[in-house]
Amino acid sequence: MIGWLQGQLADRWQQNNRCGLLLVCHGVGYELQIGRQQWDQLPANGTELSLHVHHAIRDDGWTLYGFRERHERDLFRSLVAVSGVGPQMALGLLGSLNTEQLVRAIIQGDLRLLSQAPGVGKRTAERLSVELRTRLQERFGAAHGAGDDLSDLDGPAAAGPDLGPAPAVREEVQLTLAALGYESLEINRALRAVLAQGQLEQEDGGAAASAEVWLRESLRWLSRQVA
C-alpha cells in the first residue's frame, strides 16, 4: 500500500468536480486526487511536494488520494468508513471545513454546518455524528500541532447528564420534543446548549428547573438554529 509520496509536481487536472495532480517520484508519475481547496493552493509546477496518501483498491481500479497533513488523511479514512459517505463526499466535507471545524461539527452534532458540504443532507450529517462522535473524540482529543488540539471540543456544552436536568425532567422534555418532530441528536444538543449558555435563570431554579422551563428554553434555542 502507498502511504506517502515525495516528488515534483508535474501537472494538475480537473474533471467535472474532481481535482488532482501528477506527482513524479524517481521517474514514475503518480496521479492523485485531492480536495478543491488544496488544489487551489498548489505551488508552481516543478515544485517539490510531499503528500500523505490514502490508497483505495477497488475492482474497477486503484485510486490515490493525497493530503498535506497526516491528520487530514486519517479523518478522510474515518469519513469514508461511514455508510453512504464516499470519497467525493469526504473530500467535499474536508474542502468545506478545516479539520478542526469538521471534527467539532461532528462531535457537537452541528447538522446545519455539516449539511453545507456538497451532497451532504441532514440524514447523512446525523449519521456522521452518531457513528463518528466517540471515535473522533478518542483520536483527535489528545492531538497536538497547529489547529489540532481539540481536547476542549465539547466544552461546557457537552457536560454529562448529571449537570443537566433531573432524569425525570429530561425524559419528559425529550418525549415532548420528539412528539414535535425533533430528533434525538437535536434534542440532546438543545439541552446541552441551554445549560452551557446559562439560559436558565435562578428564579427558574437553574439546572433544577421544571420540565416546562427546560422545554421553553430548548424550543427557544432550537428555533434559532433554523432561523
- pLDDT digits over 44-60, tens only? 999 999 999 999 988 88
Query: What grid cell was written down for 152?
Result: 476542549
Nearest Cα residue to 122 out of 103, 134, 109, 133: 109
Q: How far apart are the first and last CA of the chain?
A: 47
The alpha carbon of residue 127 and the mean position of all alpha carbons in its chain are separated, in whole angstroms, by 11
Q: Show the 3-state SS of 167-190.
A: HHHHHHHHHHHHHCCCCHHHHHHH
CA-CA-CA-CA torsion sign (87, 91, 97, 98): positive
pLDDT in tens, 179-225: 777 777 778 888 888 887 665 654 444 555 788 888 888 888 888 77
Whether the predicted model's global pTM rises above the 0.95 cut: no
The answer to whether 190 touches 221, Cβ cutoff 8 Å, is: yes
Report how far residue 54's alpha carbon sits from residue 73's, in angstroms, rounded to the nearest whole number: 7
Going residue by residue through the chain, which has 227 residues, state the pLDDT in tens, using 9 for 90 and above: 899 999 999 999 998 889 999 999 999 999 999 998 899 999 999 999 999 999 998 888 899 999 999 889 999 999 999 988 999 999 999 988 888 889 888 988 888 899 988 889 988 998 898 889 888 877 765 443 333 444 333 333 333 334 567 788 888 888 888 777 777 777 888 888 888 766 565 444 455 578 888 888 888 888 877 54
- Grid cell 427557544 in the structure block, residue: 220
The answer to whether 221 touches 193, Cβ cutoff 8 Å, is: yes
Q: Rounded to whole angstroms, what are the CA distances from 140 to 15, 28, 132, 188, 209?
A: 33, 35, 11, 22, 35
Strand, coil or helix: 28: strand
Nearest Cα residue to 33 out of 48, 25, 21: 21
The predicted pLDDT at position 191 comes to 85
The predicted pLDDT at position 208 comes to 59
The predicted pLDDT at position 158 comes to 37
